[in-house]
Amino acid sequence: MSEKETEISELGEFGLIDRLTKDFPLKNPETKLGVGDDAAVLTFGEKDVVVTTDLLLEGIHFDLRYVPLQHLGYKSAIVNFSDIYAMGATPRQITVSIGVSSRFTVEHIETLYSGIRRACEVYGVDLVGGDTSASVTGLVISITCIGDVAKGEEVRRTGAKPTDIICVSGDLGAAFMGLQLLERENSVAAGQKDFQPDFAGKEYILERQLKPEARRDIVELLKQKDIKPTSMIDVSDGLSSELLHICKESNVGCRVYEDKLPIDYQTALMAEEFNMNLVTAAMNGGEDYELLFTVPLTDHEKVEKMEGVKMIGYVTEPTLGAALVTRDGGEIPIKAQGWNAFNH
Amino acid sequence: MSEKETEISELGEFGLIDRLTKDFPLKNPETKLGVGDDAAVLTFGEKDVVVTTDLLLEGIHFDLRYVPLQHLGYKSAIVNFSDIYAMGATPRQITVSIGVSSRFTVEHIETLYSGIRRACEVYGVDLVGGDTSASVTGLVISITCIGDVAKGEEVRRTGAKPTDIICVSGDLGAAFMGLQLLERENSVAAGQKDFQPDFAGKEYILERQLKPEARRDIVELLKQKDIKPTSMIDVSDGLSSELLHICKESNVGCRVYEDKLPIDYQTALMAEEFNMNLVTAAMNGGEDYELLFTVPLTDHEKVEKMEGVKMIGYVTEPTLGAALVTRDGGEIPIKAQGWNAFNH
């Protein structure tokens, strides 16, 4: 800790909350009362309310040796916004609870919050509450996000029907390859003084890992084009895992084409450098925060024209199961090999 | 781990969530969609929505050497319900996120959830979401509670006016003395095989610490008697701390009478046994989860007749500050000495 830094115990819990939350002006008319009472008060009128929550733990979900605190704050908020968009809803409020061990100063936590604030600014979300506490070891971040959606307009995972087209936004596997790169550079750096990792030409995969975005644009585009997906989910644990969720919840099967998977050039190069299977990275890497959704066959022309969306397969009868159709026409059953915190 | 127990990694994250949440039937018509999608969907019509959140960390907020997991689950839910009642609102839904280290089995977590389920049953609350994760060390519990209140009927901390009567429900200091007792017995037990602590005659203070309740009954009674408090807060960090919150947020002062503080007989006995100052325990002990509220002087007769509520003082002009009036008529300035996680 440098001389300019402040120990959290100097401020105490309420002092810390005041300092962290003072730069979060409320933006939404749906927020009647923010931080500072026993609970926040929100007013949605006739709209429905959607709620999601995520718990992020140091040493499990993030490694502060190579994740800057500001990016961590940004990403912690984004992963929640992404879940709200995956319901076809709009995020409006978040609560942020943090547990911090004594190695963190007030300035560290302010840096974390500056990332959360930036995400709230970009996505128009209000910080309305939270909790701060000491922790015995490491950093704990728990965020709950609340959003709204016109009554009955939420998009669940349950409505996919055979012959529906399966679509995914953006590209897949980049965040995973970015993580591989960061972990390699970190282990190379260990013990080497003044080591400077070379990230030239790899900016995209790093950004996908460190500073992902939520696909608000896709949800807005779907509304503009009057497309209501029959099911939707965000890709956090990997495409395979999310496809299986939709298949299970909608009681359907699916076929997804290997040669239709959207993969960025940098992702492919990095997989080659690491001698990793590119399709595995795209199918199981996770942390893409893209939207996976299904639309009726009759929307084919509409989605074909949507920028940033690719049709990757179709929904089948449940008896056919979920499979990846390889380039040579073979079929590989899809299994969830996505990220599992309990096998980490 | 006994042979009958199950390692969490055997089930994986989704298997664990399925197992933990299957016995939580939805009870509220406000809950349209519970666990199992990207987000829960809630529908409140024209009512306003209130949201609160609490983060509980092992080694900071609880000690598993003497807190049974089932009680911990119950209490974790209750502390959130208490915040919702303190807004004059009704808790409807919770999300529960947990981080568990490898020393916990599936059965441990089921025991924790059985306490949460019990609290949900007693208070009519739906479990609608959450997150489960491994943790590097210890148990992490993050709960967010959502409630509703008729539009404009929420009770904030901001409305107390000079001459208002200050009221508190139940009694104070018991949970704190219960904690002292548990900590003493635990340290006596350390190293003594087959040690059996003697808790006879101390059931009340133990229950106040281990299995507190939220004061739904008081909120309902206030409505029945057509009393709308001008301010309200729940006593979690200690009466002193909560009084200062109301004074600050309402820009008022207060006088509270030492001889009016509601204190149970067991609390007093225990304080004597520990040679502790009883008033300090009542003012600063915390974890009472009682409701502290102010009402206009005109409601004097109404609150006088309210069972389980005591008038302990009155609101003053801000210039007079906050003070405790002692039995001999002296005044001691009230300072927040409540529980602070950062000085723990």
In tens, the pLDDT along B219-238 reads 999 999 999 999 999 999 99
Q: How far apart are CA A9 and CA A73, in angstroms?
A: 22
| Contact between A142 and A233 (Cβ < 8 Å) | no
Whether the CB of A71 is below 8 Å from some CB of chain B: the reply is no
If you average pLDDT over every residue of chain A, what do you get? Answer: 93
Q: Testing the interface with A: which of B16, B31, B55, B132 to mutate, by most A Cβ within 10 A? A: B55
Residue A172 pLDDT > 60: yes
CA-based nearest distance B147→chain A, Å = 9
A233 to chain B: which residues are within 8 Å by CB? 38
The predicted pLDDT at position A196 comes to: 75
pLDDT: which is higher, A193 or B279? B279
Q: How far apart are CA A85 and CA A94, in angstroms?
A: 14
Using the beta-carbon criterion (under 8 Å), do B343 and A9 form an inter-chain contact? yes
For the stretch B201-216, pLDDT in tens is 899 999 999 999 999 9
B128 to chain A: which residues are within 8 Å by CB? 51
Worst-scoring range by mean pLDDT, A219-223, A293-297, A319-323, B197-201?
Answer: B197-201
**CB nearest A37 (choices: B87, B98, B151):** B87
Determine the 3-state secondary structure of A172 from DSSP. Answer: coil
Mark A256-277 as b/e (b = at least 16 C-beta within 10 Å).
Answer: bebeebbbbebbbebbeeeebe
Residue with tokens 């809803």: A89
Residue B337 pLDDT > 90: no
Whether the CB of A37 is below 8 Å from some CB of chain B: the reply is yes
CA-based nearest distance B270→chain A, Å = 29
CA-based nearest distance B42→chain A, Å = 5
A138 to chain B: which residues are within 8 Å by CB? 136-137
Q: How far apart are CA B291 and CA B170, in angstroms?
A: 8
* Selection from A167, A282, A260 nearest residue A218 by Cα: A167
Using the beta-carbon criterion (under 8 Å), do A137 and B133 form an inter-chain contact? no
Q: Testing the interface with A: which of B146, B342, B343 to mutate, by most A Cβ within 10 A? A: B342
Q: How far apart are CA A292 and CA A119, in angstroms?
A: 22
Residue B3 pLDDT > 80: no
| Chain B, nearest residue to A250 by Cα | B37
Using the beta-carbon criterion (under 8 Å), do A340 and B146 form an inter-chain contact? no
Q: How far apart are CA A107 and CA A123, in angstroms?
A: 24
Q: Categorize the per-residue pLDDT at A344 as very low, low, confident or very high, splitting at 50, 70 and 90.
A: very low
**CB nearest B36 (choices: A84, A149, A249):** A249
State chain A's maximal CA–CA distance in angstroms. Answer: 66
Amino acid letter at A33?
A: L
| Chain A, nearest residue to B53 by Cα | A130
Whether the CB of B63 is below 8 Å from some CB of chain A: the reply is no
Q: How far apart are CA B271 and CA B177, in angstroms?
A: 7
β-strand pairing of A253-257 with A309-316? antiparallel
Using the beta-carbon criterion (under 8 Å), do B83 and A38 form an inter-chain contact? yes
A235 to chain B: which residues are within 8 Å by CB? none
B136 to chain A: which residues are within 8 Å by CB? 57-60, 137-138
Residue with tokens 């306490």: B115
Whether the CB of B95 is below 8 Å from some CB of chain A: the reply is yes
Residue A103 pLDDT > 60: yes
Helices and strands in chain B, H and E counts? 10, 13
Whether the CB of B244 is below 8 Å from some CB of chain A: the reply is no
If you average pLDDT over every residue of chain B, what do you get? Answer: 93
Residue B113 pLDDT > 60: yes
What does each C-alpha distance from A247 to A52, A82, A232, B306 come to in angstroms? 21, 20, 11, 56
The predicted pLDDT at position B344 comes to: 47
Q: DSSP for B151-214?
A: TT----SS---TTPEEEEES-SSHHHHHHHHHHHHHHHHTT-TT-----TT-HHHHHHHHS---
Q: How far apart are CA B186 and CA A151, in angstroms?
A: 53
pLDDT: which is higher, B157 or A1? B157
SS (H, E, C) A284-331: HCCCCCCEEEEECHHHHHHHHCCCCEEEEEEEECHHHCEEEECCCCCE
| Contact between B184 and B93 (Cβ < 8 Å) | no
Whether the CB of A277 is below 8 Å from some CB of chain B: the reply is no
The predicted pLDDT at position B11 comes to: 85
* Selection from B342, B339, B55, B336 nearest residue A7 by Cα: B342
Tokens standing for B258?
């030492």
Whether the CB of B153 is below 8 Å from some CB of chain A: the reply is no
Does residue A330 come out as left (phi exceeding 0), alpha (psi in the -120 to 50 range) or beta? Answer: beta
Using the beta-carbon criterion (under 8 Å), do B136 and A140 form an inter-chain contact? no
Residue A137 pLDDT > 90: no
**CB nearest A87 (choices: B39, B136, B140):** B39
CA-based nearest distance B198→chain A, Å = 31
CA-based nearest distance A202→chain B, Å = 30
Whether the CB of B90 is below 8 Å from some CB of chain A: the reply is no
Measured in Å, how far apart are chain A's first and last C-alpha atoms? 31
Q: DSSP for A198-259?
A: --TT-HHHHHHHHS----HHHHHHHHHTT---SEEEE-SS-HHHHHHHHHHHHT-EEEEEGG
Beta-bridge partners for A333: A323
What does each C-alpha distance from A70 to A77, A206, A208, B184 come to in angstroms? 11, 15, 15, 43
In this predicted complex, what is the ipTM?
A: 0.93
CA-based nearest distance B329→chain A, Å = 32
What is the count of residue pairs from A and B with beta carbons less than 8 Å apart?
231
User: Helix, strand, coil: what percent of chain B each, to 5?
Assistant: 35, 25, 40
Residue with tokens 């990793």: A276
Whether the CB of A35 is below 8 Å from some CB of chain B: the reply is no
Q: What DSSP state is assigned to residue B86? A: T
Average pLDDT over residues B240-250: 97
Half-sphere exposure of A34 (CA within 13 A, CB side): 20
β-strand pairing of A126-134 with A90-100? parallel
Beta-bridge partners for B100: B134
Q: Testing the interface with B: which of A19, A31, A32, A51 to mutate, by most B Cβ within 10 A? A: A51
Q: How far apart are CA B146 and CA B81, in angstroms?
A: 9
CA-based nearest distance A40→chain B, Å = 5
**CB nearest B342 (choices: A8, A61, A137):** A8
For the stretch B167-193, pLDDT in tens is 999 999 999 999 999 999 888 877 777
Using the beta-carbon criterion (under 8 Å), do A50 and B58 form an inter-chain contact? no
For the stretch B18-55, pLDDT in tens is 889 888 999 999 999 999 899 999 999 999 999 999 99
Q: Categorize the per-residue pLDDT at B306 as very low, low, confident or very high, splitting at 50, 70 and 90.
A: very high
The angle, 0 to 180 degrees and rounded to 10, between the axes of the packed helices B265-273 and B203-210 is 100
B16 to chain A: which residues are within 8 Å by CB? 342
The alpha carbon dihedral of A76, A80, A85, A86 has a sign of: positive
Q: How far apart are CA A342 and CA B3, in angstroms?
A: 20
Q: Categorize the per-residue pLDDT at A210 as very low, low, confident or very high, splitting at 50, 70 and 90.
A: very high
**CB nearest A340 (choices: B13, B341, B342):** B13
**CB nearest B51 (choices: A52, A128, A156):** A128
Residue A269 pLDDT > 90: yes
CA-based nearest distance B305→chain A, Å = 27
Q: Testing the interface with A: which of B6, B30, B49 to mutate, by most A Cβ within 10 A? A: B49
The predicted pLDDT at position B22 comes to: 87
CB atoms within 10 A of CB B272: 10
* Selection from A234, A233, A221, A223 nearest residue A305 by Cα: A221
Which residues of chain A from 291 to 330 reach within 8 Å of chain B, CB to CB? Answer: none
